[in-house]
């Protein structure tokens, strides 16, 4: 069926939670009311990336992109734009008066600096329609591999492309496949790690929601390369939209004969099943993930043997991350040289980041490796809100570290980030401004690892807990001389003795903040002072006698009666009773109350 | 899926359906769809453009709408704008004329002179 216009509505998790599904429903009703339901088609897509401005609605063929669309706006879009051809300028993203609205959008900084390979279909196709994926060259790479290439040639292409694992550690994908291809075994497996667990990271979710078939296609290619006929996708049960779209995609691929027996009329057969994870962070670690797929408690085991030789059910297995797979069909179709021409010397291609924290354009971006932190924050991210100063960026989640403001011109790639004491990780990019306490941030990530430690090995189970206790004391003003040294010793011992990646990298948030913000630790310990004004126990609330008019409002607002005084004379706060809730600051009309670090 | 040819057939059919989401380097047919245009019968004209382009498998043309072009007495009006910006304005259209413009102008590259605004004036 040919329509004159397509309306694409973002159906990612972010926009869905701001009512994009209701927008679709209402729009369809209004199209019927205006008798143009046979002319205009409404489609839900994956994430467009600019989650901050969601829900996003794009009208083709004009390419008009509307942002922050509410249910109240839908009628205007239908009656003005779709019936009468008048673009609703007030909702447009980008230059509202541009002659060509789709070109104007390309000029928006957020999109201008991106290169979309893994996200090429996100926001462009309907993820629940396999034919739209096929229209965008979907499954052609699989066809090419099965009919024109040997498994050795596929592995050679992967090696020459320079693709490295996007899950965090950056292991060369071609090499991993080669190990598994050479391993002897009657049965081999291909697994996909979709157990995205870093706080603030949502790259894999968006790919699964926006373009599930690319993962299926790449897994089949991997199966052919190593000689496997079965794949498993291990995906978090907390991603209901992604799980549902994967199910739809697998069913459609089977129906079209793109999964199953004798694909493209060859001897190659391959099928994929889903396994849902219950949300344990450690199950993102490869050996724990496979143990969990086997139906056992998700705990890691020592390596070697590596999964390429003894993985799932003791059979040779490869495990790649969602984003790694999403690059593979394009590499096959456009060639390894094309892919290797993007990026830096040792980090090829692009990387998807989930940009969050103190930044204007929260969202999902894909940048060529080698883009600097400054470009990410200011050109793409739109800078820091409220005119605050940039202090640091946290990458790599609980395994990574904080990179301080003076290193803002560092090009982002695997090796640079590791040299700075952080890591690429899966792609979390959390921006912090001057109001962030770095000791508190380290404590936040440590609390996460303490919670998520599986408890199998003592360095992680006990060591991270001890580190957390020390950090907790420091932030409460009970830090002692020698605490920093204790943290450093514990960190060194834990990273060298823990069983798996979770424990080995758990001290990184502490080590990197100690490296760049040691003075903040020292201020907490020796001066009992939190320079950023975050740690409650180290703050004092005081009333400026010169500004206080004695109106008594704060005293009435104080929930613990810590403020006293005589009307029309300056009031004061009893530090012993004060619980530092901040209610008095909010109530004061004269700006007389402040926090003292 | 038995062969690459089978995949290619699905691809071509599906590409036709999502073709309008790509507007780089394409000729645009812009139909005036303000109250004056709609009253004069612009909607069947626009649908005739879409239908004829599809029937004849033309991939490099998108049909879009605009508001009032300004000469309401000559509605329905449509402008054909090529990728390099050459503009031809057609006036007093009906579905038959639209179909002829598709064949003559958009496929064979010969503007239909008698329907243009300069002839009507």
One-character DSSP codes across A287-298: HHHHHHHTTS--
Write out chain A residues lying below 8 Å of B63, CB-based. 4, 61
Helix axes A212-226, A173-182, angle to 10 degrees: 40
CA distance B16 to A113: 30
Shortest distance, CA A103 to any CA of chain B (angstroms) = 9
Write out chain A residues lying below 8 Å of B4, CB-based. 140, 143-144, 147, 264
Shortest distance, CA A142 to any CA of chain B (angstroms) = 10
- Does B11 contact A1 at a Cβ distance shorter than 8 Å? no
- Does B31 contact A125 at a Cβ distance shorter than 8 Å? no
H runs (alpha helix) in A34-139: 71-76, 84, 101-106, 109-112, 130-135
Q: Are A282 and A300 in contact (CB under 8 A)?
A: yes
Phi, psi of A193 (to 5 degrees): -90, 100
**H/E stretch holding A20:** helix A20-33
Site of tokens 């006698």? A545
The terminus-to-terminus CA distance of chain B in angstroms comes to: 58
What's the confidence (pLDDT) of residue B1? Answer: 82
Write out chain A residues lying below 8 Å of B28, CB-based. 61
Pick among 3.20.20.70, 2.20.28.10, 1.20.1440.230, 3.40.50.300: CATH of A438-526: 1.20.1440.230
Nearest to A48 by CA among A13, A91, A24, A74: A13
Q: A115 in helix, strand or coil?
A: coil
Domain A130-339 carries which CATH code? Answer: 3.40.50.11540
**H/E stretch holding A243:** helix A240-255
- Does B35 contact A5 at a Cβ distance shorter than 8 Å? no
Strand order in the sheet with B61-66: B61-66, B27-32, B78-81, B87-90
Shortest distance, CA A90 to any CA of chain B (angstroms) = 16
Site of tokens 């000029």? A107
Domain A539-596 carries which CATH code? Answer: 3.30.70.20
Can you give the length of chain B in residues?
121
Nearest to A263 among B1, B28, B38 (CB): B1
A540-560 in b/e form (b: 16+ CB < 10 A) is ebebeeeebebbebbbeebee
CA distance B55 to B52: 5
CA distance B80 to B76: 13
**H/E stretch holding B64:** strand B61-66
Percent pLDDT > 90 in chain B is: 57
Distance of CA A169 to the CA centre of its chain: 15
The pLDDT tens digits along chain A (597 residues) read: 789 999 999 999 999 999 999 999 999 999 999 999 999 999 999 998 888 898 999 999 888 999 999 999 999 999 999 998 888 999 998 777 777 777 777 778 888 889 999 999 998 999 999 999 999 999 999 999 999 999 999 999 999 999 999 988 899 999 999 999 999 999 999 999 999 988 889 999 999 999 999 999 999 999 999 999 999 999 999 999 999 999 999 999 999 999 999 999 999 999 999 999 988 999 999 999 999 999 999 999 998 999 999 999 999 999 999 999 999 999 999 999 999 999 999 999 999 999 999 999 999 999 999 999 999 999 999 999 999 999 999 999 899 999 999 999 999 999 999 999 999 988 999 999 999 999 999 999 999 999 999 999 999 999 999 999 999 999 999 999 999 999 999 999 999 999 999 999 999 999 999 999 999 999 999 999 999 989 988 888 889 999 999 999 999 999 999 999 999 999 999 988 998 888 999 999 999 998 887
Nearest to A230 by CA among A167, A196, A265, A185: A185
Q: Which residue of B has its CA nearest to A134?
A: B11
Tokens of A348: 């090829």
Q: Is the dihedral of CA A250, A252, A254, A259 positive or negative?
A: negative
Domain A350-433 has CATH 3.10.150.10: no
Q: A450 in helix, strand or coil?
A: helix
What's the confidence (pLDDT) of residue B48? Answer: 94
Largest CA distance in chain A: 91
Nearest to A193 by CA among A162, A160, A166: A166
Hey, what CATH topology would domain A5-107 get? Glutaredoxin (3.40.30)
| DSSP one-letter code for A164 | B
Give the burial class of B41: count Cβ atoms within 10 A of its Cβ; 0-12 exposed, 13-18 middle, 19 or more buried.
Answer: middle
So where are chain A's domains? 5-107, 130-339, 350-433, 438-526, 539-596
What's the confidence (pLDDT) of residue A440? Answer: 96
Phi, psi of B88 (to 5 degrees): -120, 130
- Does A4 contact B17 at a Cβ distance shorter than 8 Å? no
| DSSP one-letter code for A476 | T
- Does A85 contact B64 at a Cβ distance shorter than 8 Å? yes
Site of tokens 């002072």? A529
∠ CA B112-B48-B34 to the nearest 5 degrees? 90
What one-character-per-residue DSSP string does A527-585 give? S---TTS--GGG-EEEE-TTT-----HHHHH-TT--EE--TTS--EE-TTT-----HHH
Query: Which residues are CB-neighbours of A69 under 8 A, at least 6 positions away?
Result: A23, A55, A56, A57, A77, A91
């Amino acid at each position: 069926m040919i329509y004159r216009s397509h309306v694409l509505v973002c159906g990612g998790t972010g926009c869905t939670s701001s009512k994009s599904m209701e927008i679709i429903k209402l729009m369809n009703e209004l199209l019927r009311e205006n008798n143009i339901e046979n002319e205009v088609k409404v489609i839900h897509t994956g994430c467009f990336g600019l989650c901050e401005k969601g829900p996003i609605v794009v009208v083709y063929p004009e390419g008009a992109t509307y942002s922050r669309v509410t249910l109240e706006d839908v009628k205007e879009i239908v009656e003005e734009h779709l019936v009468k051809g008048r673009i609703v300028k007030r909702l447009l993203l980008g230059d509202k008066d541009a002659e060509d609205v789709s070109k104007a959008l390309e000029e928006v900084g957020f999109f201008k600096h991106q290169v979309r390979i893994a996200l090429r279909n996100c926001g462009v196709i309907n993820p629940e329609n396999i034919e739209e994926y096929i229209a965008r060259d979907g499954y052609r790479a699989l066809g090419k591999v099965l009919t024109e290439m040997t498994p050795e040639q596929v592995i050679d292409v992967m090696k020459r492309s320079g693709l490295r694992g996007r899950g965090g550690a950056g292991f060369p994908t071609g090499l991993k496949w080669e190990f598994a291809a050479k391993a002897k075994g009657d049965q081999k497996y291909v697994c996909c790690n979709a157990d995205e667990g870093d706080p603030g990271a949502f790259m894999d979710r968006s790919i699964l929601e926006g373009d599930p078939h690319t993962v299926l296609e790449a897994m089949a290619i991997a199966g052919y390369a190593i000689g496997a006929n079965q794949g498993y996708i291990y995906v978090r049960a907390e991603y209901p939209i992604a799980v549902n779209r994967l199910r739809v995609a697998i069913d459609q691929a089977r129906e079209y004969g793109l999964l199953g027996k004798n694909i493209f009329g060859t001897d190659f057969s391959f099928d994929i099943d889903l396994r849902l994870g219950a949300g344990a962070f450690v199950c993102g670690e490869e050996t724990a993930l496979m143990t969990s797929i086997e139906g056992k408690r998700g705990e890691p085991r020592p390596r070697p043997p590596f999964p390429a030789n003894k993985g799932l059910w003791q059979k040779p297995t490869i495990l790649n991350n969602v984003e790694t797979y999403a690059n593979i069909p394009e590499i096959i179709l456009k060639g390894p040289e094309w892919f290797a021409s993007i990026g830096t010397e040792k980090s090829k291609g692009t990387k998807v980041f989930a940009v969050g924290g103190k930044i204007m354009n929260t969202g999902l971006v894909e940048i060529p490796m080698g883009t600097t932190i400054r470009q990410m924050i200011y050109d793409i991210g739109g800078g820091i809100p409220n005119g605050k100063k940039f202090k640091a960026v946290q990458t790599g989640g609980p395994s990574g570290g904080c990179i301080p403001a003076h290193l803002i011109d560092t090009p982002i790639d695997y090796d640079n980030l590791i040299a700075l004491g952080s890591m690429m990780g899966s792609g979390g990019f959390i921006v912090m401004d001057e109001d962030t306490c770095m000791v508190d941030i380290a404590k936040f990530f440590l609390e996460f690892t303490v919670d998520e430690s599986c408890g199998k090995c003592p360095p992680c189970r006990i060591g991270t807990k001890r580190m957390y206790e020390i950090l907790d004391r420091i932030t409460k003003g009970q830090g002692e001389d020698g605490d920093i040294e204790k943290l450093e010793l514990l960190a060194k011992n834990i990273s060298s003795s823990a069983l798996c990646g979770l424990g080995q990298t758990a001290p990184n948030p502490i080590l990197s903040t100690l490296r760049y913000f040691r003075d903040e630790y020292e201020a907490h310990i020796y001066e009992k002072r939190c320079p950023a004004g975050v740690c409650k126990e180290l703050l004092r609330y005081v009333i400026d006698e010169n500004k206080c008019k004695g109106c008594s409002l704060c005293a009435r607002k104080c929930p613990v009666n810590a403020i006293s005084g005589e009307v029309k004379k300056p009031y004061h706060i009893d530090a012993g009773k004060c619980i530092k809730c901040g209610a008095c600051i909010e109530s004061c009309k004269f700006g007389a109350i402040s926090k003292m670090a | 899926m038995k062969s690459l040819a089978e995949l290619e057939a699905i691809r071509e059919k599906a590409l036709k359906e999502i073709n309008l989401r790509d507007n780089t380097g394409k000729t645009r047919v812009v139909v005036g769809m303000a109250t004056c245009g709609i009253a004069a019968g612009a909607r069947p004209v626009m649908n005739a453009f879409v239908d004829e382009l599809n029937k004849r498998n033309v991939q490099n043309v998108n049909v879009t709408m605009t508001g009032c072009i300004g000469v309401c007495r000559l509605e329905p009006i449509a402008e054909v704008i090529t990728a390099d910006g050459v503009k031809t304005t057609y006036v007093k259209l009906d579905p038959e004329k639209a179909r002829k413009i598709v064949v003559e102008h958009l496929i064979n590259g010969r503007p239909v002179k008698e329907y243009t605004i300069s002839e009507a004036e």
